[in-house]
A and B are shown apart, each in its own frame.
Chain A
Amino acid sequence: MKRVVIGLAAVIGLMASAGAALATLSVYTYHGPSDAIWNQIYEGPDTFGPRYYNRVYRPTGTNPLNQMCLRYHYNDGSYTPWQCNYSTNPFYAYNGSGGNLTAYPAKAQCKYYFDGGLPSQGLANVTCQTTVGLP
């Protein structure tokens, strides 16, 4: 009986600490190089973990090729489809219900992409962010 109680207490303790870790949200910012490259992926935190949502701040200006894309990369090598957008700033990835697209365990990725673009097309000041943790 005593063992069961101790085991249960340990399980509850573990669950509580895991919950506390997930409930702590922090924003991780990662940048493209100063002259961002077409179709180049920029990656969020190196470790796979809980990701609440992704967003990207595009450089201001009227470059019609300024399409930014977001996705998650899972630790088994799979990834979510890209979501891309030309005009909103910031641009957020959402799920099918219009809520934040979350993933766990995952890395965040973003890239500057246009099918007809050239690898040499530069784009300065791309800022990507992912929110680490789950509420």
Chain B
Amino acid sequence: MKRNRIIAGLAICVFAASAIAARAFPHRNTARHATPPPAASEMRALSAPQVEALPPQAARDALAELPGVRADQERQLIAGIGSKSYAVNAAPTTDGGVCMTTPAGGGCFTSFAPSGISFGVGMNNDGPASPADRELIAGVASDRVSRIDVVAGNRRLRVPLRDNAFVYEAPAVGVWADALEVGLTDGSKARVVVSNANRAEAIP
């Protein structure tokens, strides 16, 4: 009888301790259980009927070279942005990830970071670097993302975001993004630092 009481008491202590620990260390608990969902499951545009045109052949060829890409589900997500009518193309992979081609690079990733975006940074020029080049940022966004702004010094510039993809071309030479401010559908915001390797480099 006494032994049962001791066991019951111990069980209550363990329960209470775990409840206290859960309140004290919420991130530790969520980190253990919160495996981020596959990226493709967070991009409705990849499973929606094709609205935009198919990706151009060059982009389709590039996507087809990526590992595990489902070439039959390629999408052009956003197009016609900026000085050279930039676009972002993407396709899901067999393991639920996403592959993309953008004018600022691309490739594949398995899940979104908490910010809900995956992107590349470059310039609006494919040839030799020139003093006339402007910054270019392009990528994809999860369904959790409702708005993206570039923070450049004291300027805040709205980024075109459509069908889970975005493209930003700086409005002028020398306007450099310090960060992307991402508005999420739950009302919160995430700030993603942008570090453009071209910013500090002199053009020969």
CB within 8 Å for A87 and B101 given contacts A82-B198, A98-B58: no
Q: How far is the CA of A86 from the CA of B118 in the complex (A)?
A: 8
CB within 8 Å for A92 and B125 given contacts A98-B58, A98-B89: no
Q: Which residues of B contact A (CB under 8 A)?
A: 55-56, 58-59, 61-62, 65-67, 84, 86-89, 99-109, 113, 118-129, 133, 193, 195-201, 204
* Partner pick for A85 among B58, B89, B120, CB 8 A cutoff: B120
* Partner pick for A99 among B61, B195, B201, CB 8 A cutoff: B61
Closest 6 CB pairs of A and B: A99-B58, A88-B107, A98-B59, A81-B123, A78-B128, A98-B101
Q: Are B106 and A97 in contact (CB under 8 A)?
A: no
Residues of chain A lying within 8 A (CB to CB) of residue B55: 98
Residues of chain A lying within 8 A (CB to CB) of residue B127: 80
- Expressed in whole angstroms, the minimum distance between the Cβ of B31 and any Cβ of chain A is 11
Q: Are B200 and A90 in contact (CB under 8 A)?
A: no
* Partner pick for A98 among B88, B198, B200, CB 8 A cutoff: B88
- Expressed in whole angstroms, the minimum distance between the Cβ of B78 and any Cβ of chain A is 11
Q: Are A83 and B62 in contact (CB under 8 A)?
A: no
- Expressed in whole angstroms, the minimum distance between the Cβ of B11 and any Cβ of chain A is 37
For B63, the closest partner residue in chain A by CB is: A98
Q: How far is the CA of A74 from the CA of B101 in the complex (A)?
A: 24
Q: How far is the CA of A81 from the CA of B202 in the complex (A)?
A: 11
Residues of chain B lying within 8 A (CB to CB) of residue A84: 105, 120-122, 195-197
Residues of chain B lying within 8 A (CB to CB) of residue A127: none
Which among B55, B89, B126 has the highest number of chain A CB atoms within 10 Å?
Answer: B126
Q: Are A85 and B105 in contact (CB under 8 A)?
A: yes
- Expressed in whole angstroms, the minimum distance between the Cβ of A96 and any Cβ of chain B is 5
Query: Could you say which interface size class chain A belongs to?
Result: 35 or more
Q: How far is the CA of A68 from the CA of B42 in the complex (A)?
A: 25
Q: How far is the CA of A55 from the CA of B108 in the complex (A)?
A: 12
Residues of chain B lying within 8 A (CB to CB) of residue A55: 107
Q: Are A101 and B126 in contact (CB under 8 A)?
A: yes
Q: Are A88 and B129 in contact (CB under 8 A)?
A: no
Determine whether A77 belongs to the interface, using a CB cutoff of 8 Å to chain B: yes
Q: Are A82 and B62 in contact (CB under 8 A)?
A: no
Q: How far is the CA of A116 from the CA of B133 in the complex (A)?
A: 23
Q: How far is the CA of A82 from the CA of B126 in the complex (A)?
A: 10
Q: Which residues of A contact B (CB under 8 A)?
A: 53, 55, 67, 69-70, 74, 77-101, 111, 113-116
Q: Are A92 and B129 in contact (CB under 8 A)?
A: no
Residues of chain A lying within 8 A (CB to CB) of residue B129: 78-81
- Expressed in whole angstroms, the minimum distance between the Cβ of B77 and any Cβ of chain A is 11
- Expressed in whole angstroms, the minimum distance between the Cβ of A65 and any Cβ of chain B is 9
Q: Are A100 and B198 in contact (CB under 8 A)?
A: no
Q: How far is the CA of A96 from the CA of B134 in the complex (A)?
A: 13
Additional A-B contact list (9), CB under 8 Å, known A85-B106, A94-B62, A95-B126: A67-B195, A70-B105, A74-B128, A81-B123, A86-B118, A89-B107, A89-B109, A98-B89, A98-B106
For B87, the closest partner residue in chain A by CB is: A98
CB within 8 Å for A94 and B106 given contacts A85-B119, A99-B61: yes
A-B contact pairs, 21 of them (CB 8 A): A55-B107, A69-B197, A80-B128, A85-B106, A85-B120, A88-B99, A89-B108, A91-B105, A94-B101, A96-B103, A97-B56, A97-B58, A97-B59, A97-B87, A97-B103, A99-B58, A99-B59, A99-B101, A100-B61, A101-B126, A115-B199
